[in-house]
Amino acid sequence: MRIIVMGQQAFGKDALAKILDAGTDEVVAVYCEPDREGKPVDPIKTYAQEVGLPVHQPANFKSQESIDTLKSHDADLMVMAFVNVFVPEAARDTPKHGSICFHPSLLPLHRGPSAVNWPIIWGSEKSGFSWFYPTDGLDEGDILMQWECPIEPDDTVIDLYFKKIYPAAIDSVPAVVDAFRDGNPPRTPQDESKATYEYRCKKSHAEIDWSKPVAEVYNLIRGCNPAPGAWTTHGGSELQIFDAARVDGDGNVGSVVSVDQDGVAVQAQGGRILIKRVRPGGGEKQAAADWANSIGLTPGDRLG
């Protein structure tokens, strides 16, 4: 089949490479976002140019010219692998079999741009990814296939996405393309009664409230690691918290309970958080023990 790959960054590049490595189909064009001044060239663009594929970077698909260019490739399928630009129906339906899109959650759960953060923050025990038929609604189309994985109690965004979802999703790309080869791929409507949508996880969502149950605090830290980074304050200065562990113990919420080579233990409701790695005041990430020693942090001091 003749394939258009539309995507960004490492995921788009690796999805493109997977199709090319399979050697079954012909990639006729690659689409990615326009270059941004002062930003590195998108990896998918660099790779596509290295292997001699035509690259297009429209800011949108509002013009007839952009639609006509898409049509000129006479594609059978467009694989949308990590796409930030809105792609209207006129563009999506240009290939003979239309388009298929990746999303890193078990749709209809966690529609939206931070689909890996929120299930961890909410304390979910599983996640995965979906390949779906995109519509004008955000992540609302019928499902082609899904893959499920557990969220372990200590998983961060790095664990869930980069170690579980990402490699499995890239490995699924040839199967996604193969599903269209006979012209009758599966379609399962999403159950709207189970749908959730969350906004992008931002700094405003990532502030730690030490009076919350320790499980909620720990889930927030895990679900914001590495970005946007859960944060608290000490002495009026912001402190981002990354690697941490949940430990038992009682005390006054927000109080530093211990400082040692393992890190800084802070009391939450019903348990403690052992902070292992921090970024103070927007500086460099460092071991929590080193930061605590540098400022003379002692048990009884407070965070938040």
Alpha carbon distances (Å) from 113 to 20, 82, 84, 211, 302: 28, 10, 9, 28, 34
pLDDT-based confidence at 241, cuts 50/70/90?
Answer: very high
Contact between residue 146 and residue 106 where contact means Cβ atoms under 8 Å apart: yes
The predicted model scores a pTM of 0.94
Tokens of 203: 């700094």
The three-class DSSP label of residue 18 is: helix
Q: How far apart are CA 286 and CA 256, in angstroms?
A: 18
pLDDT digits (tens, 9 = 90+) for 93-144: 999 999 999 999 999 999 999 999 999 999 999 999 999 999 999 999 999 9
Please compute the mean of the pLDDT values over residues 214-231 and round it to a whole number: 98
Residue 118's pLDDT is 98
Please compute the mean of the pLDDT values over residues 272-290 and round it to a whole number: 96
* Class for the domain spanning 2-194: alpha beta
How do 286-287 and 277-280 pair as beta strands?
A: antiparallel
Q: How far apart are CA 9 and CA 51, in angstroms?
A: 16
pLDDT at 73 over 90: yes
How do 55-56 and 26-31 pair as beta strands?
A: parallel
- Residues in Cβ contact with 8 at an 8 Å cutoff, skipping those fewer than 6 apart: 32, 33, 42, 44, 82, 83, 84
Please compute the mean of the pLDDT values over residues 222-249 and round it to a whole number: 97
pLDDT-based confidence at 282, cuts 50/70/90?
Answer: confident
Q: Which helix (H) or strand (E) holds 291?
A: helix 288-295
Looking at CATH, the fold of the domain delimited by 203-295 is given as Methionyl-tRNA Fmet Formyltransferase; Chain A, domain 2 (3.10.25)
Number of neighbours of residue 137 by Cβ within 10 angstroms = 9
**CATH 3.10.25.10 domain locations along the chain:** 203-295
Mean of all residue pLDDT scores within the chain: 97
Residue 183's pLDDT is 85
